Amino acid sequence: PSLAGSGTVSRSLLVWSSGLRLGIHTSSSRGALFGGKKQAEPLASRPDLGASPVFDLPVEEKPASAESKSVDITKSGTPLLSSVMSELPEASTKEYQFTTANYKTGYKKLRFLAKQISGKPVQEAIDQMEFSAKRWAKPLLHTLALARKNAKLQKEMDPERLVVHRTWVGKGQYQKRIDYKGRGRFGMKHLYSSHVKFVLREAEPERDQANRGFRRNIKRFNITKKVWTPMKETKPIYTPSPYYNW
């Protein structure tokens, strides 16, 4: 049987070599040589590419998947979140920032006035500065009035709804002066300056039953800190007398 098998292989080799000499390369000779297990696969059709194949490649249309079908169903059935958000009225984000001039005082003294007007309507802040005993309350009053006027002209904001949204204090430049001392000695003293910066913003609409966002109207709900007041009237008595004095 081994001789018979070797004879068949030699015959197939002769047939294949004769086909190569004649220029005939048939699938029958290839199948006879390799047992007919492999068959020639047809070449895939290639698109005609131009000079820039990046832009000339054909785009195959993919079938719609399950996710895209679900998106289409939601589009046709219920409105999407983006469409709902587009229909909502835009929140008022207008604000106007203003700063005062450099006052000849330290920032630690000026921060009391900044805390006093923070979070108040502009008119109420002006009233607070009008009756304040601080030295730099009057210049801050005029700055608030000027900022309210500029916000109306430049930003087209409603002056009746303006609120001092936030305030902060900054340091300015300081001047050096000679501090003369005895026995021919001297030192340097600094004259500090500071300024107040504040942001004006339009107040939110009034609370009513129609607006869901403002139904919670609890007394003193938004008040977190008390307005600073001097402690002259509430100063404790450290050495009380042993008898009543009233």
pLDDT in tens, 60-98: 666 555 454 444 444 444 455 555 555 555 555 789 999
**Rounded to an integer, what distance in angstroms lies between the CA atom of residue 169 and that of residue 11?**
104
| Per-residue model confidence (pLDDT) at position 87 | 57
For residue 14, being part of any structural domain is answered with yes
**Rounded to an integer, what distance in angstroms lies between the CA atom of residue 3 and that of residue 18?**
23
Could you give the 3-state DSSP secondary structure of residue 155?
coil
My answer on whether 108 and 30 are in the same domain is: no
Q: At what angle do helices 2-22 and 27-34 cross, to 10 degrees?
A: 150
Tens digits of residue pLDDT in 31-49: 554 555 555 666 656 555 5
Instruction: Look at the chain and report how many structural domains it folds into.
Output: 2
Would you give the DSSP letter of residue 65? -
Does the pTM of the predicted model rise above 0.85?
A: no
Band of residue 235 on the pLDDT scale cut at 50, 70, 90: confident
Q: Which helix (H) or strand (E) holds 180?
A: strand 175-180
| Per-residue model confidence (pLDDT) at position 168 | 97
Average model confidence (pLDDT) across the chain:
75
Rounded to whole angstroms, what are the CA distances from 166 to 13, 29, 52, 130, 161? 96, 92, 58, 20, 15
For residue 170, being part of any structural domain is answered with yes
Can you give the residue range of the structural domain that contains 198?
Answer: 95-204
pLDDT at 139 over 70: yes
- Looking up residue 194, the CATH number of its domain turns out to be 3.90.470.10
Cβ atoms < 10 Å from Cβ of 135: 13
| Per-residue model confidence (pLDDT) at position 236 | 74
* The two three-digit tokens of residue 222, written as one number: 């938004």
| Per-residue model confidence (pLDDT) at position 24 | 53
For residue 136, being part of any structural domain is answered with yes
pLDDT at 205 over 90: no
| Per-residue model confidence (pLDDT) at position 86 | 57
